[in-house]
Chain A
Amino acid sequence: MSLSVMTFIADAFKLAFKVLKERKLRATLTLLGIMIGPLVMIMMGSVVAGYSSYIVNQIALLGQNAVVIYPSSDYKLTHEDLNYIKSFTYVDEAEPFYVSQGVIKRGVENVQVYVYAVKIPLILRSIGGLEVVEGELPMEGDVVSALVGYKVAFDGQGNMLYKVGDVITITVSEVKGGRITKTRSINVVVIGILNEYGGALLFSPDQTIFLNSEAGTKLLNIRDWSGIFVLLRDPIYVNEFTTTLRETYGDKLTVIAFGAIAKIASSIASAVTFINFTTSLSALAVAVAGITATMVTSVIERTREIGVMKAVGFTNVQVVLMILAESLAMSLLGGSVGMILGVVGAYMLASRGLEIAGETTSIIVRAQPALTPDLFLLTSGLTVLVGIIGGLLPAYMASKIPPAVALRYE
């Protein structure tokens, strides 16, 4: 591009901004219409992407090769089932577990916790990033020592309320059919504290008290296994393993593979992202119509001025560029304001958190909006496109006005 063309384009933009300044109210209203698209794209796009990525990562962290098997309400897991599961050559480890919900006193507040009686080393092996930061693991056969999650030991301000050696009284609930039927109190001794994990999907280690498997029957008084935790040698076996189990047991078991859930979550996230993107495109289409309407009005009003420009030597191409510069100036201005508001909106929206409700409990997930360069590039690109498409018709109209006719226009 030659220097004279670049100089002309720079001048065209300078003149375009002067037009916008002259017609402030109309320009402001058009900008409002334009900014909605980029605002929605940035705000919703980044929040959806942020939460999607968080959810998928959290599920993936739970172990791509981990599978959890729950019995249906009318089926009881037995040693026979456990042996059958262990008979698969690619099953590395399979251990039954007991789970219950309870409430503990943490300072002045009651905190809801999960109580797992399980082979603790297996859990630590399966869940990436979960470590003991204080104390140690309960000895094998010890039914009262507990490894507690971070939010059990610490309050929201990071104050330690339970340290190693302290006794925690848990009011344990017995849940049947999704309803708490009975409660009773048990005491456990804190022997180890886990690091802050942050995850809160499907399984929340921070709000969990881990006991040895033996505590399931002896302390929690749960007669039947709540489920079997299985670790496969490699994630590639997950599909075959879960399919075989489902074929063998039918509705008797619920088989949850974290890797598969991650894939489903990822697909859902993609679908939500697509829906959000198409919604944003609708807003951008409205912006195109807004720009076209504004620019057509502007061209009609400035017919005489366009005639003067042609009289002094502006070519039709230069007139087109002048009008496009105006529509682009509007879209870039509206787009920039929209994107800035989108960022602010994204943080406001994300700070509210996402509540995931279960039958008896709910958790609030908070994820940072994913404000990626790609999202800004895409939004900026579409904003520019809106300006160009919106300006095409008026620019064409302006270029086709015969100069002699334009100069006579009243």
Chain B
Amino acid sequence: MPDDVVVVDNVYKSYRVGEVVTWALRGVSLKVKRGDMIAIMGPSGSGKTTLLNMIGLLDRPTKGKIYIDGIDTSKLSDHELANFRNYKIGFVFQTFNLVGRLTVLENIELPLIARGLPRHVRAKIVMEALKKVGGDESWLKKRPTQLSGGQQQRVAIARAIVTSPSIILADEPTGNLDRASAKVVMNTFLELNKSGQTIVIVTHDPEVANCTNKIYVIRDGMIVDVKEPDKSRNILLTT
């Protein structure tokens, strides 16, 4: 396995609305090393979510290449991209994106259902993932709405790590949470990172970004700065 889990190489992304072409990304390049935890910061509309979608293979670049675990993803078909997402990438969203009618167990096992794994195998893996994020067995049969926001986000993290992906991509994971819940969630990410999990967090919150090892600042679709985080001002240390 190469050292770099993700390599973004001079990626451009444009959207066309009628005759107007808007460039969301303009020549973005970055590398994420295995076991690293980075933040992508920037104001609204700067292109950070677009970049995350590119890395997460949810969208294709207009120009440039993205390598995941050394594989050029531009050559993959839609079917292969889906499998790639299943095996290599875990997503955490701002609004959790849990399916309300399904139980916690069923939400976490969704990526494993796509793999066609039998139920009893899934149940074991789900339990391990839930424990890693600080959840317990009593959550399994509950619906997402029966949990607090912080708990729901931890269920979403469990869903992201249940397939043991190469990288977790979190888009504003604390954006919908109160301070206390945000701390718990960030603590969960840090624990996962300590155990070797590569994590990319998109955020506009400096205190969240300061939990990571490196901060990429994006503006107008370009990386304008790469800075070291101020660990003394991260969310876990603030009141």
Residues on A close to B: CB < 8 A?
Answer: 2-8, 11, 15, 18-19, 21-22, 304-305, 307-318, 402-404, 407
Beta-carbon contact of B97 and A404 below 8 Å: no
Our pick among B59, B106, B111, B116 for the contact of A312 (Cβ within 8 Å) is B111
Q: Is the CB of B79 within 8 A of A316?
A: yes
Is B86 part of the binding interface, using a Cβ–Cβ cutoff of 8 Å?
yes
Cβ B82 vs Cβ A22 within 8 A: no
Please state if A407 and B114 are interface contacts (CB–CB under 8 Å): no
Residue of A nearest to B78 (CB): A316
Given A18-B101, A22-B101, A305-B99, A313-B82 contact (CB < 8 Å)? yes
Please, which residues of chain A bring their CB within 8 A of the CB of B224? none
B82-A315 in contact (CB<8A)? yes
> How many residue pairs at the A-B interface have CB separations less than 8 Å?
85
Q: In the complex, which of the residues A11, A310, A312 has the most CB atoms of chain B within 10 Å of its own CB atom?
A: A312
Known A305-B99, A404-B53; judge A8-B116 contact (CB<8 A). yes
Please tell me if B26 contacts chain A, counting CB pairs below 8 Å.
Answer: no
* Contact indicator A313/B117 (Cβ below 8 Å): no
Chain B 48-98 residues near chain A, CB threshold 8 A? 53, 56, 58-59, 78-79, 82-83, 85-87, 91, 93, 97
Do residues A19 and B101 form an inter-chain contact, with CB atoms below 8 A?
Answer: yes
Q: Is the CB of B59 within 8 A of A402?
A: yes
Bound-state Cα–Cα, A4 to B114, Å: 9
Top 4 nearest A-B pairs by Cβ distance? A313-B86, A4-B116, A315-B82, A404-B59
Point out which of A15, A310, A314, A404 has the most chain B C-beta atoms below 10 A from its C-beta: A404
Q: Name the contact of B82 in the complex, choosing from A11, A308, A316 (C-beta under 8 A).
A: A316
Indicate if B226 sits at the interface (CB-CB under 8 A): no
B-side contacts of A309, CB under 8 Å: 110, 114
Interface pair A8/B114, CB less than 8 Å apart? yes
Q: Which residues of A contact B114 (CB under 8 A)?
A: 8, 309, 312-315, 318
Set of chain B residues within 8 Å of A315, measured between Cβ atoms: 78-79, 82-83, 114
Interface secondary structure of B, over-half rule: helix
B113 located at the interface, meaning its Cβ lies under 8 Å from any Cβ of chain A in the complex: yes
Report the minimum CB–CB distance from B112 to chain A (whole Å).
9
**Residues B116 and A3 in contact, CB atoms below 8 Å apart:** yes
Among candidates A308, A316, A317, A318, residue contacting B97 with C-beta atoms closer than 8 Å: A308
Q: How far is A7 from B117 in the complex, measured between Cα atoms in Å?
A: 7
Contact between A403 and B58 (Cβ–Cβ < 8 Å)? yes
| Nearest opposing residue in chain B for A312, CB measure | B111
Distance from A338 Cβ to chain B, minimum over Cβ atoms (Å): 26
| Chain B residues within an 8 Å CB radius of A5 | 116
Which residue of chain A lies nearest to B85 when distances are taken between CB atoms in the complex?
A313
**Interface flag for B2 (CB, 8 Å):** no
Residues of B within 8 A of A (CB): 53, 56, 58-59, 78-79, 82-83, 85-87, 91, 93, 97, 99, 101-102, 106, 110-111, 113-119, 159, 163
Residues A311 and B116 in contact, CB atoms below 8 Å apart: no
A304 / chain B contacts, CB cutoff of 8 Å: 97
Q: Is the CB of A407 within 8 A of B101?
A: no
Q: Please tell me if the beta carbons of B83 and A313 are within 8 angstroms of each other in the complex.
A: yes
Q: Given A22-B101, A407-B58, are A310 and B53 neighbors across the interface (CB < 8 Å)?
A: no
Query: How far is it, in angstroms, between the C-alpha of A8 and the C-alpha of B87 when the chains are bound?
Result: 17
Q: Is the CB of B117 within 8 A of A308?
A: no
Residues of A near B102 (CB, < 8 A) are 15, 18
Nearest chain B CB to A232 CB, angstrom units = 69
A21, B118: Cα distance in complex, Å:
23
Question: Whole-angstrom distance between the alpha carbons of A281 and B91 in the complex?
Answer: 46
- Is the Cβ of A8 less than 8 Å from the Cβ of B99? no
The residue in chain B whose Cβ has the minimal distance to the Cβ of A2 is: B116
Least Cβ–Cβ distance between A410 and chain B, in angstroms: 10
Q: Are A8 and B59 in contact (CB under 8 A)?
A: no
| Alpha-carbon separation in the docked complex, A353 to B145 (Å) | 57
Also in contact, A4 and B59, with CB within 8 A (given A18-B101, A313-B83): no
Q: In the complex, what residues of B have CB within 8 A of residue A308's CB?
A: 91, 93, 97, 99, 110
Within 8 Å CB of B117, what residues of A?
A: 4, 7
Q: Which of A19, A304, A313, A402 has the most CB of B within 10 A?
A: A313
How many whole Å from B165's CB to the nearest CB in chain A? 10
Q: How far is the CA of A269 from the CA of B163 in the complex (A)?
A: 61
Tell me which of B53, B83, B87 has the highest count of chain A C-beta atoms within 10 A of its own C-beta.
B53
List, in ascending order, chain B residues with CB within 8 A of A19's CB: 101
- With A311-B85, A318-B82 known, 11 other A-B pairs at CB within 8 A are A6-B116, A7-B118, A308-B93, A311-B97, A313-B82, A314-B110, A314-B114, A315-B114, A316-B78, A407-B58, A407-B97
B101 near A8 (CB under 8 angstroms)? Answer: no
Residues of A within 8 A of B159 (CB): 312
Closest to A18 in B: B101
Cα(A407)–Cα(B93), bound, Å: 9
The residue in chain A whose Cβ has the minimal distance to the Cβ of B93 is A407
Q: How far is the CB of A406 from chain B (nearest CB, A)?
A: 9
